[in-house]
Chains A and B, each alone.
Chain A
Amino acid sequence: MYADFEVSSIDAFADFHVEIASEPSLWRWLKPQVRFFFDGRPSFIPLPTVQAFAMLEWGLNWCVAAHSHQYLVIHAAVLEKNGKAAILPAPPGSGKSTLCAGLVMRGWRLLSDELALYDMTTGEIFGMSRPINLKNRSIGIIKQFAPDAVLTDSVPDTTKGTVALLRPPTQSAVRVREPVRASWIVLPKYTPNMLPLLEPHSKARTFMLIAEQSFNYDIHGENGFEAVGNLVDQCACYQYTYSQLDDAVRTFEELCSGKIT
């Protein structure tokens, strides 16, 4: 999953020291469990060993969301193509990760499927290009949509159902430190058997959505308010209803080439 990433040297500064270690218990022979450690301290409840990788990813998300208040941390996917970027903020269940994976498999650069790190001073958004967390039916959909996609084994019965991680394309991993400026904010809405529909979303509603979907909006007070305002002002805001990834790829292509304004 992380093969394309640079390995930092042992004496470099690290933002977070994390570890997944097996949980010593009398039952470990029958029901092996692992636990997430943040800088030596156990966090979260132990989970079955097969969920170790997913747990590492969730744990890392928690580390970033709970400690990186130099950014406004928005719960959103971020993608870039030809220097233009889209933010996909969405509550769980909206098909954000699926859409994100679909676009990434068609040439969009992945910044994040989960956490957008918005630098409020420069207006730039950073991502971490970490593996995309696919759940339940989206795993099959992506496998079918992009047979060359590299996925981990599916892990059933997690708190989020069956999960699998999708490896980010090499280009995304190599360009992980490159931030973007957002051009669009698109609220995705997966609705079965619907024709694709991209409609303008009011700036006020988009503002509220971004604020709600930010982990640390409360910490930034007035600066956060201004920053979300600026972000919404600089972006074209849409709601996108879709049922087929192929439609979505086409729509985003049109957005990118300027056919939709």
Chain B
Amino acid sequence: MTPHRDLIVNALLTPEIVRELSAQKWDLLIRQGRRTNLLARLANVLTQQGLLENAPIAARHHLTSAVLVAERQSIALRWEVECIRQALAYAGIKPILLKGAAYVMAGLEAARGRTFSDVDIIVPKKLLGETESALMIHGWQGSHHDKYDQRYYRRWMHEIPPMRHVKRGTTIDVHHTILPETARLTVNPAALLAAIVPVKDFADLYVLQPTDMLLHSATHLFHEGDFESSLRDLFDLDCLFRQFSALPDFSETLALRAATLGLSRPLYYAVRYTTLILDTPVPEVVRSEASLGKPSALISWVMDICYLNALRPVHSSTNSFSAWLARFALYIRSHWIRMPFPLLAYHLGRKAFIRSKSYDIEKSVADADLKA
């Protein structure tokens, strides 16, 4: 099965193609890059390869703009992490950073040109209450005050409702495990938290060990029902595979670790779709051992069709019925594997009939919150 290769993916994998692009293709490339949050990454790749000069000046402006935002966000993120570290240090809590924040603080390639919407941390479940109050004392406020939402998060989810800093307006997601408690897959958070590694130059700040970081990234992506940033997340996985494969023992232990944590299935998908869509050079040993997590032939055939469509850039240029259908099916699946059916029926019913009104408008007003 060969995936359709969209322009943004093509340009990131084989940057030389930009030498031949027409103005109209540049137009499309910038739009796809912007929509998939891959514009700054594209700019970095083109700069590294000495190809930026090929971009018409108008397109180059957009690339420059995206790089500036990404660089600023990376600085802002370090500051935010420092604020979180200090707030929790008073309570003797040592946070473990997840996803984007972890990539930045661990100095990984995946962080280059990446943008962030929030900081994710994970703490042992027994410290959740203390973590929440320590953050509240230092200016973070809870969200989702609705009773149902509170119950949704606190009883069923793997995180508490996002907290927002009163002054800085930044958001933190506090997790206690990496999948909802109601999910089909049961992870072993104790094993995850027992193998953390300190962030260089920090005594009280941690990230997951390389295998677990990759497995978490995979678990997150392949449980997701929203595909806005999933192509970016797939590129994250690509970066992690490339960088970590050079570490001693990484490749040999990855599949075993996935089995220990109960994450063999997400690892299989990660290997399958990074190699298929992004030509990621996943070592042979990982490829063969990851196939332990392969579902039945029928399921893997369906999943191939779904993910090869769903992981295309979410942009008007790639709109098609098949992409829509694939995303819809995976959206249903994401709920299906996160909750048992009765709970799911109740939750979706509630979302459809009671909460459909306010969300869209809140989001749009925030977008429009400009001085002009």
- Provided the pairs A67-B65, A69-B69 are in contact, do residues A75 and B372 lie with their beta carbons within 8 angstroms? yes
Q: Is A13 an interface residue (CB 8 A)?
A: yes
A66 to B34, CA, bound (A): 12
Q: Which residue of the partner chain A has the closest CB to B76?
A: A218
Q: Is B297's CB within 8 Å of the partner chain A?
A: no
Assembled-state Cα–Cα distance A67/B63 (Å): 10
Identify which of residues 104-151 in chain B touch chain A, using a CB-to-CB cut-off of 8 Å.
Answer: none
Assembled-state Cα–Cα distance A58/B370 (Å): 10
Q: Are A40 and B315 in contact (CB under 8 A)?
A: yes
A15→B58 contact, CB < 8 A: yes
Interface presence of B283 (CB below 8 A): no
Q: Which of A62, A213, A220 has the most CB of B within 10 A?
A: A62
Contact of B372 among A43, A65, A68 (CB under 8 A): A65
Which B residues are CB-close (under 8 A) to A61?
370, 372
Residue contact B372 to A12, C-beta cutoff 8 Å: no
Question: Which residues of A, 41-58, contact B by the 8 Å Cβ criterion?
Answer: 41-45, 58
Beta-carbon contact of B371 and A70 below 8 Å: no
Which residues from B are CB-within-8-Å of A259? none
> Which of B21-29, B156-164, B247-255, B301-309 binds A?
B21-29
B364 within 8 A of A: yes
Asked whether A43 and B316 contact (CB < 8 A) given A58-B372, A67-B62, A218-B72, the answer is no
- Return A60 CB to nearest CB of chain B, in Å: 10
A215 at the B interface (CB under 8 A): yes
Q: How far is the CB of A14 from chain B (nearest CB, A)?
A: 6
Q: Determine whether the beta carbon of B69 is less than 8 Å from that of A62.
A: no
Q: How many Å from the CB of B227 to the closest CB on chain A?
A: 13
* A75→B61 CA distance, assembly (Å): 20
Task: Select from chain B the residue with minimum beta-carbon distance to A8.
Answer: B23
Decide if B246 is an interface residue (CB 8 Å cutoff). no
A75 touches B371 (CB 8 A): yes
Q: Inside 8 A of A65's CB, which chain B residues have their CB?
A: 370, 372
A70→B61 contact, CB < 8 A? yes
Kindly list chain A residues whose C-beta atoms are within 8 Å of the C-beta of B34: 39, 67
Instruction: Knowing A70-B65, A215-B371, say if A221 contacts B315 (CB, 8 Å).
Output: no
**Residue B298, interface by CB 8 Å:** no
Q: Does B35 contact A (CB under 8 A)?
A: yes
What does the 1/0 interface line of A185-206 toward B look like (CB < 8 Å)?
Answer: 0000000000000000000000
A78 in the interface (beta carbon within 8 A) = no
Q: Does B59 contact A (CB under 8 A)?
A: yes
CA distance A58 to B26 in the complex (A): 26
CA gap between A96 and B68 in the complex, in Å: 30
The answer to whether B72 touches A45 (Cβ under 8 A) is: no
Q: A45 and B365: CB pair below 8 A?
A: yes
> Which B residues touch A14, using CB under 8 A?
27
A13-B26, A14-B27, A40-B315 given; A215·B59 CB < 8 A: no
User: A100 within 8 Å of B by Cβ?
Assistant: no
Instruction: Give the residues from 31 to 86 in chain B that come closer than 8 angstroms, CB to CB, to chain A.
Output: 31, 34-35, 56, 58-59, 61-62, 64-66, 68-69, 72, 75
B367 is an interface residue with CB less than 8 A from chain A: yes
Residues of A within 8 A of B372 (CB): 58, 61-62, 65, 75, 114-115
Q: How far is the CA of A45 from the CA of B366 in the complex (A)?
A: 10
* B-contact bits for A9-30, CB 8 A (1 contact / 0 none): 0011111010000000000000
Contacts of A66 in B (CB 8 A): 370
B365 CB contacts on chain A under 8 angstroms: 45
Chain B residue nearest in CB terms to A212: B371
Contacts of A141-173 to chain B: CB distance below 8 A: none
Instruction: Return chain B residues, CB-CB under 8 Å to A68.
Output: 61, 65
A62 B23 Cβ-Cβ under 8 A? no
- B24→A13 contact, CB < 8 A: yes
Q: Chain A residues near B1 (CB, 8 Å)? A: none
Give CA–CA (A92, B371) in the complex, Å. Answer: 8
Decide if B361 is an interface residue (CB 8 Å cutoff). Answer: yes
CB of B368 closer than 8 Å to a CB of A? yes
| Docked complex: A214-251 residues within 8 A CB-CB of B | 215, 218-221
B59: chain A residues within 8 A (beta carbon)? 13
Q: Which residue of A lies closest to B67 (CB)?
A: A69
Report B-chain residues with C-beta under 8 Å of the C-beta of A75. 371-372
B319 to chain A: which residues have CB within 8 Å?
Answer: 40
Min distance, Cβ A75 to any Cβ of chain B, angstroms: 5
B58: chain A residues within 8 A (beta carbon) = 13, 15
A17 to B316 Cα, complex, angstroms: 11
Chain B residues, Cβ within 8 Å of A15? 58, 61-62
Closest residue to A133 on the B side, CB-wise? B372
| A39, chain B: closest CB distance, angstroms | 6
Bound Cα distance A115, B72 (Å): 22
Other than the given A70-B68, A115-B372, 17 more pairs (CB < 8 A) read A11-B22, A12-B23, A12-B24, A12-B27, A13-B24, A13-B59, A39-B35, A40-B316, A42-B364, A43-B368, A45-B365, A62-B372, A65-B372, A67-B62, A68-B65, A69-B68, A219-B69
Please provide the 9 A-B residue pairs with the shortest distance between their CB atoms, ordered closest to farther.
A40-B316, A69-B65, A13-B23, A11-B24, A70-B61, A61-B372, A70-B64, A219-B72, A69-B68
Chain B residues engaging chain A, CB cutoff 8 angstroms: 22-24, 26-27, 30-31, 34-35, 56, 58-59, 61-62, 64-66, 68-69, 72, 75, 315-316, 319, 361, 364-365, 367-368, 370-372
28 of the cross-chain contacts (CB-CB < 8 Å) are A11-B23, A12-B27, A13-B23, A13-B56, A13-B58, A13-B59, A14-B27, A17-B31, A40-B315, A40-B319, A43-B368, A44-B368, A45-B361, A45-B368, A62-B367, A65-B372, A68-B65, A69-B65, A69-B66, A70-B62, A92-B371, A213-B371, A215-B371, A218-B72, A219-B69, A220-B68, A221-B72, A221-B75
